[in-house]
């Protein structure tokens, strides 16, 4: 149903809708939008059982929480106890008779459930979250609800497509180099990557541990803020996740933005890869923010052009290291061979897809003796310079603004056989990832020619200042019509009938 999370909570609390009715409609919506291939597992029995429990709690006068009765999807790299979790990889049994079923609970699943949300299923992603188009999958690629011939972006393509199509109001996604923000931009929804250390990584299948961060995808800034408030906070399972003070994000959405300074790294943005309509939409967005009292100033990010190279060295190195755990022995499918070494080699080779194998080899290359100092060691230090650029910029501004991606969504198959071209699409998102900074993408316009494809405006804030992102993004959202647009391949304003 095409209703926001806060509206669902209100309707449930007023008794106008039961959790069961909401969940049944959501399950129907998943079936109606099956052509998007956004879901890799629908947790129907779990969802209906959970909804019944929420309805029973309410009938007893209890309050299920701030996300009461809200149907939610988790990207399939989040651990869900008793519910298949494959991260889109055959190494964890994707598309097999026996996908991996985690025997333990994930932090994000627990936190959203404790807040009253109902997990309805797991969302497609590029295998192990490596990719920017949701085409690195063992099964069907996800399709963009704005145009079925186009990618939804990635790696959280299923999450962005399902939210954009109005199937669920909220999804929990992960962002390593832009995997929340870029698909959100390409599907016309809101994506918020928190500060590194704001949300635990425990319960999220590791890709690149110094970059991975979980966060919300939603159709409005306030819904994204609501979900982030639920996910944030320290965990015994992640020493890098800390008890940093979290301002009230929903209150921040009502804060004035008069006088806030928005830094624009003009030199880093302008380039031959920038789509002219993305450039125009970005400039128009800055004009809207100025009209609402914000001040735009030009700033420099001197090492921005090295962001993609730095990111791919570090992310690939950490991936090669993290993915060493997959051997087909203790979990996941196992290839049959006579000796242990060959068993492990074949299990890994058959289990990982082409892009993952490529990144494992790249990571092995930059980590081994001969390349360590020149690549991994060097990249770790250039990363500090990238972070220092951002901190220097924040001396003269409150947030930075860029387009989220240099282009709108690509036609499916566009980057086949050209991995480097795909990597270059991450140019605007990797900076905040490398520096560990919070960043949000909010819809900021559409292509004029058919098919109509959305763009995103990215805002980046200093560490722990998600509240400033929410304040500016909420003002921008209220001043523009983009978030009200609905894609042709989705749940267009279907009303839910009265509860039985």
Per CB under 8 A, contacts with other proteins among 349-368 are 349, 352, 354, 357-358, 360-362, 364-366, 368
Q: Say how far residue 415 (Cα) sits from the centre of its chain.
A: 21
- Give yes or no for a contact between 207 and 201, defined as CB atoms under 8 angstroms apart: no
- By CB under 8 A, what part of segment 141-200 binds other proteins? 195-197
Interface pick for other proteins out of 330, 448, 449, 500 (rule CB under 8 A): 330
Cα gap 354→127, rounded to integer Å:
10
Cα gap 143→238, rounded to integer Å:
34
Min dist. Cβ of residue 149 to other proteins (A): 26
Min dist. Cβ of residue 124 to other proteins (A): 22
Interface pick for other proteins out of 309, 451, 478, 499 (rule CB under 8 A): 309
- Residues 133, 155, 156, 441: which is the catalytic one? 155
CA torsion sign, 65 to 67 to 71 to 76?
A: negative
Interface pick for other proteins out of 6, 201, 348, 486 (rule CB under 8 A): 348
Interface pick for other proteins out of 57, 244, 274, 286 (rule CB under 8 A): 244
Cα gap 95→208, rounded to integer Å:
24
Nearer to other proteins, 343 or 485 (CB): 343
- Give yes or no for a contact between 104 and 79, defined as CB atoms under 8 angstroms apart: yes
**CA 208 to each of CA 128, 280, 303, 439, 463: distance values in angstroms, whole numbers, following the listed order:** 10, 34, 21, 18, 19
**How many amino acids of this chain bind other proteins (CB under 8 A)?**
77
Nearer to other proteins, 52 or 309 (CB): 309
| Omega within 30 of 0 (cis) for the link into 451 | yes
Q: Where do we find the tokens 């220092």?
A: 388
Angle at 422 between CA 420 and CA 424, to 5 degrees: 70
Nearer to other proteins, 340 or 479 (CB): 340
Min dist. Cβ of residue 165 to other proteins (A): 33
Q: Is 75 considered catalytic here?
A: yes
Q: Select from 96-104, 184-192, 248-256, 444-452 the region that touches other proteins (CB under 8 A).
A: 96-104
Min dist. Cβ of residue 380 to other proteins (A): 4
Min dist. Cβ of residue 349 to other proteins (A): 5
Q: Select from 22-30, 61-69, 216-224, 381-389 the region that touches other proteins (CB under 8 A).
A: 381-389
Q: Select from 15-23, 219-227, 242-250, 470-478 the region that touches other proteins (CB under 8 A).
A: 242-250
Q: Say how far residue 71 (Cα) sits from the centre of its chain.
A: 17
Q: Is 155 considered catalytic here?
A: yes
Which residues, 6 or more positions from 374, have their beta carbon under 8 angstroms from its beta carbon?
Answer: none
DSSP letter string over 224-255?
HHHHHHHH-S-BTTBTT--------HHHHTTS
- Residues 124, 174, 179, 235: which is the catalytic one? 179
The two tokens of residue 401 are 């603004």
Interface pick for other proteins out of 279, 286, 288, 337 (rule CB under 8 A): 337
Q: How many residues does the chain have?
A: 500
Question: What are residue 72's DSSP bridge partners?
Answer: 119, 170
Interface pick for other proteins out of 28, 95, 210, 499 (rule CB under 8 A): 210
DSSP state of 425: T
* 258: region left, alpha or beta (phi > 0 left; psi from -120 to 50 alpha): beta
Quick check: 384 binds other proteins (CB under 8 A)? yes
Q: Select from 47-55, 60-68, 177-185, 347-355 the region that touches other proteins (CB under 8 A).
A: 347-355
Min dist. Cβ of residue 416 to other proteins (A): 12
Quick check: 341 binds other proteins (CB under 8 A)? yes
Min dist. Cβ of residue 50 to other proteins (A): 20
Cα gap 64→118, rounded to integer Å:
11
Nearer to other proteins, 100 or 146 (CB): 100
Beta strands at 118-123 and 71-75: parallel, antiparallel or unpaired:
parallel
- Give yes or no for a contact between 486 and 295, defined as CB atoms under 8 angstroms apart: no
Cα gap 81→333, rounded to integer Å:
19
Q: Is 179 considered catalytic here?
A: yes
Quick check: 306 binds other proteins (CB under 8 A)? yes
- By CB under 8 A, what part of segment 247-286 binds other proteins? none
Interface pick for other proteins out of 288, 344, 451, 499 (rule CB under 8 A): 344
- By CB under 8 A, what part of segment 461-480 binds other proteins? 463-464
Q: Select from 63-71, 132-140, 339-347, 450-458 the region that touches other proteins (CB under 8 A).
A: 339-347
Q: Say how far residue 29 (Cα) sits from the centre of its chain.
A: 21
**CA 25 to each of CA 44, 112, 123: distance values in angstroms, whole numbers, following the listed order:** 11, 20, 18
- By CB under 8 A, what part of segment 424-463 binds other proteins? 434, 436-437, 463
The two tokens of residue 231 are 């996910």
Q: Which has the closest alpha carbon to 456: 402, 410, 496, 418?
A: 402
- By CB under 8 A, what part of segment 211-240 binds other proteins? 236-237, 239-240
Interface pick for other proteins out of 177, 188, 215, 328 (rule CB under 8 A): 328
Quick check: 334 binds other proteins (CB under 8 A)? yes
Quick check: 97 binds other proteins (CB under 8 A)? no
Q: Is 98 in a helix, a strand, or coil?
A: coil
Quick check: 113 binds other proteins (CB under 8 A)? no
Min dist. Cβ of residue 259 to other proteins (A): 25
Catalytic positions are: 75, 155, 179
């Amino acid at each position: 149903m095409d209703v926001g999370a806060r509206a669902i909570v209100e309707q449930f609390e007023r008794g106008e809708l039961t959790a069961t009715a909401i969940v049944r409609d959501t399950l129907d919506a998943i079936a109606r939008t099956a052509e998007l291939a956004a879901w890799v597992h629908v947790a129907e029995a779990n969802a209906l059982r959970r909804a019944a429990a929420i309805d029973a709690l309410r009938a007893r006068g209890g309050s299920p929480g701030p996300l009461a009765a809200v149907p939610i999807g988790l990207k399939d790299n989040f651990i869900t106890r008793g519910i298949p979790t494959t991260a889109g990889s055959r190494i964890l049994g994707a598309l097999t008779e026996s996908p991996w079923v985690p025997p333990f609970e994930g932090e994000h699943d627990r936190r959203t459930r404790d807040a009253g949300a109902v997990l309805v299923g797991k969302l497609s992603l590029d295998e192990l979250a490596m990719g920017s188009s949701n085409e690195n999958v063992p099964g069907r690629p996800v399709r963009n609800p704005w145009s079925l011939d186009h990618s939804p972006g990635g790696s959280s393509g299923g999450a962005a497509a399902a939210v954009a199509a109005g199937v669920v109001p909220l999804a929990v996604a992960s962002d390593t180099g832009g995997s929340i923000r870029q698909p959100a931009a390409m599907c016309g929804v809101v994506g918020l990557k928190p500060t590194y250390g704001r949300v635990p990584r425990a319960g999220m299948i590791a890709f690149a541990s110094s970059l991975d961060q979980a966060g919300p995808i939603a159709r409005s800034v306030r819904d994204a803020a609501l979900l982030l408030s639920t996910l944030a906070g320290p965990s015994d399972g992640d020493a890098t996740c800390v008890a940093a003070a979290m301002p009230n994000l929903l209150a921040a959405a009502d804060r004035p933005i008069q006088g806030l300074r928005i830094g624009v790294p003009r030199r880093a943005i302008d380039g031959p890869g920038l789509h002219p309509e993305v450039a125009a939409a970005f400039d128009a967005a800055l004009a809207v923010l100025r009209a609402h009292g914000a001040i735009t100033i030009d700033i420099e990010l001197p090492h921005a052009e090295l962001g993609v190279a730095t990111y791919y060295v570090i992310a690939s190195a950490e991936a090669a290291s993290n993915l060493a755990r997959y051997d087909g022995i203790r979990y996941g499918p196992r290839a049959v061979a006579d000796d242990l070494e060959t068993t492990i080699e074949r299990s890994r080779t058959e289990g990982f897809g082409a892009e993952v194998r490529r990144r494992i080899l790249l990571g092995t290359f930059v980590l081994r003796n001969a390349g360590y100092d020149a690549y991994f060691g060097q990249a770790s230090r250039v990363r500090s310079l990238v972070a220092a650029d951002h901190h220097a910029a924040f001396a003269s501004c409150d947030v930075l603004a860029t387009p989220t991606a240099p282009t709108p969504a690509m036609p499916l198959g566009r980057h086949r056989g050209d991995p480097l071209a795909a990597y270059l699409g991450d140019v605007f998102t990797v900076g905040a990832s490398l520096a560990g900074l919070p960043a949000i993408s909010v819809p900021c316009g559409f292509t004029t020619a058919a098919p109509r494809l959305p763009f995103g405006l990215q805002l980046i804030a200093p560490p722990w200042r998600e509240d400033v992102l929410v304040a500016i993004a909420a003002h921008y959202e209220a001043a523009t019509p983009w978030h009200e647009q609905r894609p042709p391949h989705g749940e267009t304003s279907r009303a839910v009938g009265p509860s039985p």
